[in-house]
Structure 1
Amino acid sequence: MKKTKIVQSYWSKAYKNSLNYGWAFRETHYMSWALSCLQLKQFYNEVELVTDSEGAEFLVNKLHLPYTSCKTTLDKLTDENTAIWALGKIAAYEEQQVPFIHVDGDIYIWKPFPKRIENAAILAQNIEKNYPFNINLLNEMHEKKFSFPFPLSSGDMCETNMGIVGGHDLEFFRGYCSFVYSFLDTNRDKLEKLASGVSSINTIMEQYLMHEYAKRCGKKVEYLISSLPNTEMYKLTLFSLLPRDVSFIHNIGSNKKREITSDRLARLLYCAYPEYYAHISNLLKQKTI
């Protein structure tokens, strides 16, 4: 049976909004993408990159990452607000024509995804429940008259972490993408009013709407990690547990800004792929990246 296609997306203009691309050091951004892609290629024959022209130049032509195909679909986002970085991922989901697993560039795997994930109609990383920041943001959006295509629940606020996401139900993903675009278009005039800035809309737009849309469609989401309390999310970032105790790392949130994270990631790349480590180091010395 043919392996599910892996997809990664890279909207270059959105990444430039963050100092050092969100990491402690800009070189870690380069090394993260290299390690993520190379580890995926260890287990999957087809790893597609959906990006823009600048991203293709960076990841394929400069870093020489071995993607099996590269599409510059995200050039169509030229006129979009780059603070809404989730649009790059949504556009990548939308164009898929065969079953897929989208994997973020800060995720590294040490074995294939389980068959239940590869064969799922809809899959994602895990459920996040009652994050205080997002609860407050949702309340603020309600107060500022944001329009939602469904009544807001008074119960737990659940979101779907989409570090990995995909599946065989392509019709669901087309509907989900339309759902997100409709929400965004209806509320564009209110985004600048958010106290924490336009970028705060991303997790609501991507993760909260995903969970709500699946629930309202009566669809089951197969989660890679079935139960993970908010207080234990940090365990996904522990390089020290590789490869014996864990086979999946996701560098979430503020962990990227820790210098020790950059050091450990660089060491991993150096040990596993010394030629890529050397290549990136040379590019940095030559100031071509």
Structure 2
Amino acid sequence: MMKKTKIVQSYWSKAYKNSPNSGWAFRETHYMSWALSCLQLKQFYDEIELITDSEGADLLINKLHLPYTSYLTTLDKLNDENPAIWTLGKIAAYEMQQEPFIHVDGDIYIWKPFPKRIENAGIVAQNIEKNYTFGINLLGEMRNMDFFFPFLPSTGDMYESNMGIVGGHDLDFFKDYCSLVYNFLDSNRDKLESLSGGVSSVNTIMEQYLMYEYAKRRGKEVEYLIPNLPSSRMYKLTLFSLLPIDVSFIHNIGSNKKREITSDRLARLLYCAYPQYYAHVSNLLKQKTV
């Protein structure tokens, strides 16, 4: 019997503390999101590894008591890095994997296991993003600022791989991809502060754009969880109201986190599905333990 796919989540405390409420409308939603994400993954997967730092382990393991089967505080090595480059925590998690894996962000909740084509693929990602205005403008700005790229940036349509989920069996590809990302970052550190969108705007290029382009140049096929998702339909990934019949996968992308109704619906979901965890998080907040 084939071993079930290992799920990986990563939590770099310094990056989360760098934005108000860790990107959510309310501080408590950040904790509830991590609880719901981990608990739903645990419904379908036996092995869930947490790659974090000492502070993250204290929060998610010691305080929230989330059922990770193992954890490592490897991300302590990022203490001297700029927390605005939040994707470094994820890249470090990919780089250290020694067996097939699927990395799942903490704002993703699943209601059924990933399809076998995803669990068994060499490289997987969530979906393709095509010609997003933010990405096109950023790439153009980087070209004008003479950013170093490991390959000639595309001048036609711009494609990126959304990496809400990412991973696969091709571990050599991920080692090489992570090296490429580090090379890109180290070659351009002196230019990051000058980006019109600030240092944090580099994350999508580092992670999503380089991933798509590198896989294409290596002739590697990427298996996408949602193969044909036009940008006009991305919002469907955030609709809790469609669970569990119409959708089985939710990803709270971008600015949706800052909507109060999102926090309300997420809290209600946690309360209904895991009332003991909801009560535990609420008590930690009342006691000001988190």
Shared fold per TM-score greater than 0.5: yes
Letter paired with 1:25: F
Query: Hey, what does 1:192 align to over in structure 2?
Result: 193
Is it true that 1:164 corresponds to 2:155 in the alignment? no
Amino acid at match of 1:4: T
CA offset digits 1:77-116 (Å, max 9, x no partner) = 0111111000000000000000000000000000000000
Alignment-mate amino acid for residue 142 of structure 1? R
Distance between the aligned counterparts of 2:255 and 2:99, measured in 1? 34
* TM-score normalised over the length of structure 2: 0.99
SS in 2 for 1:120: coil
Runs of 4+ in 1 over 6 A off after TM superposition: none
SS in structure 2 opposite 1:101?
strand
2:238 aligns with 237
Equivalent residue number for residue 61 of structure 2: 60
Amino acid at match of 2:163: M
Give the SS at the match of 1:165: strand
Q: Structure 2: which 5+ residue stretches go unaligned?
A: none
Shift in Å at residue 133 of structure 1? Answer: 1.1
User: Structure 1 residue 2: deviation in Å?
Assistant: 1.1
**Counterpart Cα distance in 2 of 1:110 and 1:132:** 31
For 1:42 and 1:49, the matched residues in 2 are separated by 16
Give, in whole Å, the separation in 1 of the partners of 2:39 and 2:150. Answer: 40
Deviations 1:256-286 (A, max 9, x none): 0111000000000000000000000000000
Residue 255 of structure 2 is matched in structure 1 by 254
Distance in 2 between residues matched to 1:112 and 1:95, nearest whole Å? 24
RMSD: 0.5
CA deviation map 1:175-206 (0-9, x unaligned)? 00000000001001110110110000000000
The CA deviation at 1:3 is 0.6
- Please give the secondary structure, in 1, of the residue aligned with 2:148: coil
| Partner Cα distance (1:210, 1:136) in 2 | 18
The corresponding residue for 2:4 is: 3
1-side partners of 2:140 and 2:247: how far apart?
Answer: 37
Once the 2 structures are TM-superposed, how far is the Cα of residue 6 of structure 1 from its aligned partner?
A: 0.1
Matches of 1:235 and 1:244, distance apart in 2:
13
Write the mapping of 1:33-48 to structure 2, written as runs, cut at 5 A.
Answer: 33-48=34-49
Corresponding position: 1:51 with 2:70: no
The percent identity for this pair of structures is 82
Matched, 1:270 2:271: yes
SS of aligned partner of 2:18: coil
Quote the Cα distance in structure 1 between the aligned partners of 2:252 and 2:196. 26
Q: How much does 1:152 deviate?
A: 1.6
Distance 1:268 1:195 in 2: 38
Q: Deviations over 1:118-163 (max 9, x none)?
A: 0000000000010111111111111111011111212110000000
- What is the aligned residue count? 289
Q: Using the alignment, how far apart are the partners of 1:244 and 1:154 within structure 2?
A: 41
CA distance in 2 between partners of 1:165 and 1:116 (Å):
13
1:14, 1:26 → 2: CA distance?
A: 15
CA–CA separation in structure 2 for the residues paired with 1:259 and 1:89: 27
Secondary structure in structure 2 of the residue aligned to 1:128: strand
Q: Aligned partners of 1:149 and 1:261: how far apart in 2?
A: 39
SS of the residue aligned with 2:126? strand
Rounded to whole Å, the distance in 2 between the matches of 1:243 and 1:137 is 37
Partner of 1:208: helix, strand, or coil?
helix
Aligned to 1:151: 152
Which letter does structure 2 place at the counterpart of 1:86? T
* Structure 2 match to 1:209: 210
Shift of 1:14: 0.4
Q: Aligned to 1:153, what secondary structure does the other structure show?
A: coil
Q: Which residue of 1 is the match for residue 119 of structure 2?
A: 118
Normalised TM-score (structure 1): 0.99
